[in-house]
Chain A
Amino acid sequence: NAGVTQTPKFQVLKTGQSMTLQCAQDMNHEYMSWYRQDPGMGLRLIHYSVGAGITDQGEVPNGYNVSRSTTEDFPLRLLSAAPSQTSVYFCASSFRTASSTDTQYFGPGTRLTVL
C-alpha cells in the first residue's frame, strides 16, 4: 500500500494562476479531506468528502473547489491563486464515516507559495 499520496510536493504560483493539487489513496477509504496548515494555527479543514460524488465545505472553503469522481482520488483546485493561500496542504483519508473514532491517515503534504 502506498497509503495517501500527494503531488506535487512543492509549487510556486503567481497571483491569479490556477492549479490542482492531487491526492490519492489506495486503502479504499470512504472519507477524504483537505486541510491547510499555517504557522500557529494548526490544521484547518478546507473541504471533505464522505464518498464518491459527495463533497462538503469545511472551515475555510473560500477560493477552493473539490470533486470526488472516484473513491481513490480527491483533487483540490485553486481557481485564482492569492497570496493568502500560501500554505502547506494536507490530504487525509479514513475508512468509515459513520464512526468518528476512525483514524485519519495523512499524506506528506504540498507546500504552496503564491507570489
Chain B
Amino acid sequence: AQSVTQLGSHVSVSEGALVLLRCNYSSSVPPYLFWYVQYPNQGLQLLLKYTTGATLVKGINGFEAEFKKSETSFHLTKPSAHMSDAAEYFCAVRKATGGFKTIFGAGTRLFVKA
C-alpha cells in the first residue's frame, strides 16, 4: 500500500526566506512522486514530478524537489519566497509499475509574510 505524509499542515515564512515543505512517502514498489499547488478557489496545478533519472527535479516558479530513496522523502524547496507563493501544496505518489491511481497527502498551507 502507498501513503504520503506531509509534515506540517501550515508553514509560515517571510518574503525572501527559504521555503521547505516536507513530504515522506511509503511505497512497496518504486514510486513516481509529484508536487501540486492549489491557489485559493482553484484546482490543482502540477509543480514538478519525479519519474526516473536525476533525483533533483526542477519545476515551475523556481521550486525544486529532491528524491531521496534512503530517506523515502521528496521535500519541496524554493530559495526565496515570494508573496505569490502563498497557496496550499500537495505531495502525491503513484506506482511506477503501472496504474494511475494517485495518493495525495493532506496538504501544507504556505503563508508568506511581508
Complex partner residue of B104 from A42, A101, A102, A108, CB under 8 angstroms: A42
B contact residues, total (Cβ < 8 Å): 25
A contact residues, total (Cβ < 8 Å): 25
Chain A residues whose CB sits within 8 angstroms of the CB of B32 once the complex forms = 100-101
| B90 x A45 contact (CB < 8 A) | no
Choose the segment among B12-20, B61-69, B71-79, B93-101 that binds chain A (4+ C-beta atoms closer than 8 Å).
Answer: B93-101
A2 within 8 Å of B by Cβ?
A: no
Give how many A-B residue pairs fall within 8 Å (CB-CB).
56
B51 within 8 Å of A by Cβ?
A: yes
Which single residue of chain A is at the shortest CB-CB distance from B105? A42
| A4 x B43 contact (CB < 8 A) | yes
Q: Which of A6-56 contact B (CB under 8 A)?
A: 31, 35, 40-45, 48, 50
